[in-house]
Structure 1
Amino acid sequence: MQQSEENEWLARWREGRIGFHRDAVHPALVRFWPSLGAPPGAKVLVPLCGKSLDMRWLAEQGHPVLGIELATDAIEQFVADGSGEVSRYRQSDFDICRQGSIELWGGDFFHFHIQQAAEIGAFYDRAALIALPEATRQRYAFHLAQLLPPGARGLLISLTRAPGDSGGPPYSVPAEEVRALFEPNFELTHLADGEPEENGFRESVWALKRRGPLA
């Protein structure tokens, strides 16, 4: 991330401006994940994870979870709301908390490298792509592709805003941009569009499969 983006993100968590956080598991995850085809027990990468309850749901389905989050406040709130012992250690640029089968890596997603992603077999993005400004989204899509092995599957939830509303985050990422960002490296399937919300937001759900020859 750019320094200005990092500062804004950290300030949001510090000041409690986290309207993007959901107090329940996202219904699209519950609906579509079982049919995604992710192997049982595959470790799921969750970029810019915040303190999302979706990670606990994935863990309950038998998936180890590796979440990456810049804001220490988010990580500490997540583990405080959970149960079980928390182990802490450091690897490279990341301070890591582990609670049960969930690892939370505190640091910049763009500093997470393929050597650290050796066990990743799937991914989930509900609020990462839409948290990034347009200039950073292409970098994000490329970096994500580098971390995933051929055949890895993921679920992406994008968002569009009301016409004329160009604010953010969350940012509006229309379907044509999603395709342009991900189709070079992923097989992309549009699964559903949500109903327009009162704030003018509308979510779209995508299934992705990393292209490339299988081992």
Structure 2
Amino acid sequence: MEAQADRVRTLGEWEQGWKEGEIGFHQYCVHKMLESYIDKVLCGRKRIRFFFPLCGKAVDMKWLADMGHSVVGVDIAEMGIRQFFEDQKLIYSEEVVPAIPGAKVYKSSDGNISLYQCDLYKFSSAIEGQFGGIWDRGSLVAINPRDREKYAALIMSLMDKDCQYLLDTFLYNPELFKGPPFNVPDVEVNRLFGRSCDIEFIQSSDALPDVKDKEWGLDVFIERVHLLTPKAS
């Protein structure tokens, strides 16, 4: 992390990126890793409550909701949240969140999807309780590296005792690209979560073809997926 330790992107910069269409991280189909390992996440459970940190307008949320699960997401970008409901042709309502000054929550008419527009670190289990599933695609790798301990503490506070946390990370030479997405090696995953969670490595794949048009100057870009579960107390 050293090469990227001081890299900071403000909330305003993230919001501006949405306004300028800089959303190369968005995928227009269900993420292949989630689709491949959803059975490992569910463990036979039905109607799971899923948390999506930095949700953007991920189509994965609609996919899970259509399977009978419920989804709670958080993102600073109001544009991304509104676009999600519009793209998925979902009727939604908009409410203020008294517990988080300045925040709003956007809810689908069936109540299965609730997306909070606020600073992620102002969200807590006091707002929506804990979750049985977490899909972290593009969140840990996007937050400022100096905030990782704070992020890990938040995520662990949102996990119920049976939670399955599917974590997607990237490996590359951080000397060649400043991020985000940031380089997050396995040793960092273990440092952040190893004391509280059992960590199962699931898959590694070459993701360089997916970013070859981004001019990042990389010759190696590896996607790695882990499944984290709370250690038995």
TM-score with structure 1 setting the length: 0.91
**TM alignment of 1:51-130, pairs within 5 A:** 51-91=57-97, 92-93=99-100, 94-99=103-108, 100=110, 101-130=112-141
Partner of 1:195 in structure 2? Answer: 206
**Cα shift at 1:119:** 4.9
Return the letter of the residue paired with 2:229. K
Note the aligned Cα RMSD (angstroms).
1.9
Q: Distance in 2 between matches of 1:196 and 1:170?
A: 13
Shift of 1:40: 1.3
Q: 1:155 to 1:84 in 2, by over 3 A?
A: same
Work out the CA distance in 2 between the residues paired with 1:154 and 1:43.
12
Q: 1:160 aligns with which of 171, 182, 186?
A: 171
Alpha-carbon separation, structure 2, partners of 1:84 and 1:15: 24
Secondary structure in structure 1 of the residue aligned to 2:162:
coil
Which of 184, 187, 191 aligns to 1:173? It is 184
1:166–1:172 CA contact under 8 A, matched in 2:
no
**TM score, norm. by length of structure 2:** 0.85
State the identity %: 29
Q: Name 2:150's counterpart in structure 1.
A: 139
Contact 2:133 2:164 in 1 (8 A): yes
Pick one of 197, 207, 210 that aligns with 2:230. 210
Amino acid at match of 2:27: R
Is structure 2 residue 31 aligned with structure 1 residue 26?
yes
Shift in Å at residue 164 of structure 1? 3.1
Compared CA separation, residues 163 and 172, structure 1 to 2 (3 A): closer
